[in-house]
């Protein structure tokens, strides 16, 4: 029903754009007077509202969320004890990455920008290229690979799981974690699958439904300014934004499967054999060359830089780039076209996107009690061995979480 309403909204917006030659004669005698029929404004139509996330019943979900919340903020999951999930998804960066390209454990540069996390549970596929078909697989991928380096040196999927299982078992021996794991997974031998399950459950609670747009959709017609309403008209009509960013999710990849688009990001002045091929790496289909999943635009004003390569620093520039049709390349999507927007219209679009600011933040949990388990030499894992210097503090992209107010 919500998707149908969004599609109807788009149809109404496009259908309201009449040609100048479409005139009506006034009834009655005498000379007919040409009258421009009133245009239907998309912003004045019913707006779709964010539904509840559909999940199977789980009597232990609350306990898993509590455990996952704590794990999400814990650097002991990483190979070097220097990165938590939160390190790449901090509040001050809108829950997206601070750096254009994510910085992983050991200050190693990754391959793509870290996206924002609000409403992440609604996606049909995860990662920019959609290579994970569940959120749990996304968590394990980030944990075991370079982002967090939880399985350093692992060269096969089996070895990765083996190393993550060991790390999970070690965490479960910490007194505070032992209680949390037992509450979430009673009687279980703790392995990587339990860690990724708990973190995924926590991430599904990261819901943004308190924006000015949401209040407007719920009936508060003063929630969006007149400029923002004009921006919504453009978003739903002339701007062509609905193709990739259908409300109420503001990512079509949350509403439908197989939503990947090539708009040219990362192709300009790059040799073809050096271009990030995106979705094609997963499907091996040339039609998916340099195509990527559209991110949600919720909280977009607070989460620069933009796109999968973090190549655009300012929202105004990102909007202008997309409204102009993206970057020409051999596989650019047909819907990526120049919308011929004026500077005033671009400003209206940017204003509307400001109406998608999320009001919440990720709250830092109470630190778990106890120390990291010791290895057979008596050293705490994740800390320097005797005689070694302490690790330097992480860079800005991995700053410590600020205490919740």
Beta-bridge partners for 132: 126
pLDDT of residue 378: 40
Q: pLDDT band for position 196 (50/70/90)? A: very high
Flag the least confident range among 19-33, 272-286, 331-345: 19-33
Q: pLDDT band for position 372 (50/70/90)? A: low
Q: pLDDT band for position 91 (50/70/90)? A: very high
pLDDT of residue 45: 96
- Residue 173 pLDDT > 90, yes or no? yes
Tally helices (H) and strands (E) across the chain. 12, 2
Q: pLDDT band for position 380 (50/70/90)? A: very low
pLDDT of residue 18: 35
Distances (CA, A) of 331 to 17, 131, 267, 273, 287: 30, 20, 10, 14, 7
Structure pTM? 0.83
Decide if 75 contacts 81 (C-beta within 8 A): yes
Q: pLDDT band for position 371 (50/70/90)? A: low
Exposure letters 337-375 (e unless 16+ CB within 10 A, then b) = eebebeeebbbbbbbbbbbbbbeeebebbeebeeebbee
- Give the residue carrying structure tokens 């409300």: 247
* Mean pLDDT value across residues 146-168: 95
Please tell me the distance from the alpha carbon of residue 239 to that of residue 217, in angstroms, as a whole number. 20
What pLDDT digit, counting tens, does each position of 132-156 carry? 999 999 999 999 999 999 999 999 9
The domains of the chain, with CATH numbers, are 61-207 (1.10.760.10), 208-354 (1.10.760.10)
Task: Report the chain's mean pLDDT, rounded to a whole number.
Answer: 87
* Mean pLDDT value across residues 281-285: 98
Flag the least confident range among 5-14, 88-97, 349-358: 5-14
Q: pLDDT band for position 63 (50/70/90)? A: very high
Is the bond preceding residue 248 a cis peptide, omega within 30 degrees? yes
Q: pLDDT band for position 404 (50/70/90)? A: very low
- DSSP labels, 323-366: HTT----TT--TT-------HHHHHHHHHHHHTT-----PPPPP
Residues 47, 117, 253, 257, Cα dihedral to 10°: -120
Residues in CB range of 244: below 8 A, 6 or more apart? 251, 252, 259, 261, 294, 335
- Residue 278 pLDDT > 90, yes or no? yes
- Residue 14 pLDDT > 50, yes or no? no
- Give the residue carrying structure tokens 């004890």: 81
pLDDT of residue 22: 37
What pLDDT digit, counting tens, does each position of 286-330 carry? 999 999 999 999 999 999 999 999 999 999 999 999 999 999 999
- Residue 65 pLDDT > 70, yes or no? yes
How many alpha carbons lie under 13 Å from residue 373 in its C-beta half-sphere?
A: 16
Going by C-alpha positions, the residue among 150, 130, 131, 125 that lies closest to residue 140 is 150
């Amino acid at each position: 029903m919500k998707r149908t309403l969004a599609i109807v909204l788009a149809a109404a917006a496009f259908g309201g754009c009449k040609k100048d030659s479409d005139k009506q004669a006034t009834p009655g005698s005498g000379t007919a007077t040409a009258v421009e029929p009133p245009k239907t404004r998309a912003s004045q139509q019913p707006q779709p509202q964010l539904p509840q996330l559909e999940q199977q019943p789980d009597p232990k979900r609350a306990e898993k969320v509590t455990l996952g919340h704590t794990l999400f903020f814990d650097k002991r999951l990483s190979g070097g004890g220097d990165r938590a999930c939160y390190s790449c998804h901090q509040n001050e960066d809108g829950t997206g990455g601070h750096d254009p390209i994510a910085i992983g454990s050991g200050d190693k540069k990754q391959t793509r920008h870290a996206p924002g996390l609000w409403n992440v549970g609604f996606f049909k596929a995860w990662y920019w290229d959609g290579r994970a078909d569940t959120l749990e697989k996304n968590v394990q991928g980030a944990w075991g690979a370079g982002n967090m380096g939880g399985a350093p040196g692992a060269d096969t999927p089996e070895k990765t799981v083996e190393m993550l299982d060991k790390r999970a078992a070690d965490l479960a021996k910490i007194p505070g974690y032992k209680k949390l794991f037992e509450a979430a997974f009673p009687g279980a031998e703790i392995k990587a699958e339990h860690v990724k399950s708990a973190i995924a459950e926590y991430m599904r609670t990261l819901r943004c439904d308190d924006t000015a747009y949401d209040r407007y959709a719920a009936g508060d017609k003063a929630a969006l300014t007149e400029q923002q309403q004009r921006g919504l008209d453009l978003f739903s009509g002339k701007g062509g934004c609905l193709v990739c960013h259908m409300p109420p999710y503001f990512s079509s990849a949350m509403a439908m499967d197989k939503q990947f688009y090539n708009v040219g990001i990362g192709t300009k002045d790059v040799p073809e054999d050096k271009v990030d091929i995106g979705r094609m790496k997963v499907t091996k289909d040339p039609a998916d060359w340099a195509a990527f999943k559209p991110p949600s635009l919720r909280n977009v004003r607070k989460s620069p830089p933009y796109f999968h390569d973090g190549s655009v620093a300012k929202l105004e520039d990102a909007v202008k780039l997309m409204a102009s049709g993206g970057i020409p390349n051999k596989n650019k999507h047909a819907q990526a076209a120049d919308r011929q927007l004026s500077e005033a219209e671009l400003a209206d679009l940017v204003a509307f996107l400001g109406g998608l600011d999320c009001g919440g933040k990720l709250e830092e949990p109470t630190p778990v009690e106890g120390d990291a388990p010791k290895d057979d030499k008596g050293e705490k894992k994740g800390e320097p061995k005797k005689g070694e210097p302490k690790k330097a503090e992480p860079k800005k992209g991995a700053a410590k979480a600020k205490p919740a107010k």
